[in-house]
Amino acid sequence: MAWQLDEIAWTAFDARKVSADVVRIAKAACLVEHNGGDYGTYLSNVFFDDPDFGRVARGWAEEEVNHGRVLRRWVELADPAFDFEDAFRRFTAKVKVPLEADRSVRGSRCGELIARCVVEVGTSSMYSALHDSTDEPVFREICKRIAADEFRHYKLFYDHMKRYRELERPMLVERVWVGVRRLIEAEDDELAYAYYCANGIREPYQRRAVGRVYARQTFSRYRQKHIELGAAMVLKAMGLKPQTWYGRALGRVLTWLAGIKAAQAAARVQPA
Ligand SMILES: [Fe+2]
Ligand SMILES: [Fe+2]
């Protein structure tokens, strides 16, 4: 593990600079990160005859759970009433990782690794955007450290993906489809449901409504630099060269769509 919870300068915590929206997002992220252990088991099963990657996957999962632990500590400083155990129990009662699978739900190992890269694009950009839009010093330090890990995770999955791309030789259209599908799934309810459980919302779960609130509070923080870097990383994961006409075209489409989403989210943020 690159760093530990006790390396954070916790004494610098400044309650006056805590924003309620950031606490809500951090609570949701804390639940999703804690679920990293199950994703590590799933990846070890899918890559059962690749012990090198198995070791990498277990190390990766430990780092994700570490992110969850650190976020939990910060949330408990910001909101001592946060009941992590109850929120995590509600979350994992519904969100299940396919632990029994012995092959990737993405159809191939290369596809699995492209999807993992896309997830790391999502996390690296989100923690970067959170870092850039927050004043609380401890949370900024946490986001900076976590974002650095998420960029490194992308690189780690990318390197193994290239190896499997050589072995499995999936067609370009398959690689693009896996990446696009994972991007679309980022809209699915795992994050929204984590937000719902973590924030103790007791009325029945309404995916679209909670998803809109979550999107408003996170995507409104994205700036052009986060979007452009994320789009370039997604293209690279799909094996598209940004200098080809189709690489440029898809890059523009991704940047354009993400830009619209961020602008819509920002427009819905209520002035404080
Ligand atoms: Fe993480
Ligand atoms: Fe990660």
The CATH number assigned to the domain holding 39 equals 1.10.620.20
245 C-alpha vs ligand 1 centroid, how far in Å?
Answer: 33
Does the pLDDT of residue 246 top 60, yes or no? yes
Q: Where are the alpha helices (DSSP H) in the chain?
A: 20-34, 36-46, 51-78, 84-94, 109-132, 137-168, 172-185, 189-198, 207-219, 224-238, 245-268
- CB-CB contact of 238 with 176 (8 Å): yes
Higher pLDDT, 74 or 245: 74
> Is position 7 within any domain?
no
Q: Return the ligand number nearest the Cα of 120.
A: 2
pLDDT digits (tens, 9 = 90+) for 198-226: 998 888 898 888 888 888 888 889 988 89
What's the CA gap between 47 and 4, in Å, rounded? 28
Distance 272 CA to ligand 2 centre (A): 32
Structural domain for 201, as ranges: 17-268
Measure 243 CA to ligand 1 centroid, in angstroms: 30
- Per the domain annotation, does 37 fall within a domain? yes
* Amino acid 269: pLDDT: 63
Residue 8 lies in a domain: no
Total number of domains in the chain: 1
Average pLDDT, the chain: 90
Q: How far is the CA of 173 from the centre of ligand 1 (A)?
A: 29
Evaluate if pTM is beyond 0.75.
yes
187 occurs within a structural domain: yes
**Selection from 32, 64, 61 nearest residue 47 by Cα:** 61
Å from CA of 250 to ligand 2 middle: 24
The answer to whether residue 2 sits within a structural domain is: no
Task: Please say if the pLDDT value at position 188 is more than 70.
Answer: no
User: From the CA of 13, how far away is ligand 2's center (Å)?
Assistant: 25
Residue at 142 is within a domain: yes
Whether residue 136 has pLDDT greater than 50:
yes
**120 domain residue, yes or no:** yes
